[in-house]
Amino acid sequence: DGGITQSPKYLFRKEGQNVTLSCEQNLNHDAMYWYRQDPGQGLRLIYYSQIVNDFQKGDIAEGYSVSREKKESFPLTVTSAQKNPTAFYLCASSISENTEAFFGQGTRLTVV
Amino acid sequence: SQKIEQNSEALNIQEGKTATLTCNYTNYSPAYLQWYRQDPGRGPVFLLLIRENEKEKRKERLKVTFDTTLKQSLFHITASQPADSATYLCALDKLIFGTGTRLQVFP
The least confident of A47-51, B4-8, B58-62, B78-82 is B4-8
In this complex, do A106 and B42 lie within 8 Å of one another by their Cβ atoms?
Answer: yes
pLDDT of A67 over the 90 cut: yes
Interface residue A106 vs chain B (CB under 8 A): yes
In this complex, do A103 and B43 lie within 8 Å of one another by their Cβ atoms?
Answer: yes
Handedness of CA A94, B86, A104, A18 (dihedral sign): positive
Q: Per residue in B23-79, pLDDT tens? A: 999 988 888 999 999 999 999 999 999 999 998 999 999 999 999 999 999 999 999
In this complex, do B95 and A41 lie within 8 Å of one another by their Cβ atoms?
Answer: no
Q: Shortest Cα distance from A44 to chain B (angstroms)?
A: 7
Contact status, residue B66 vs residue B90, Cβ threshold 8 Å: no
Q: What is the pLDDT of residue B70?
A: 93
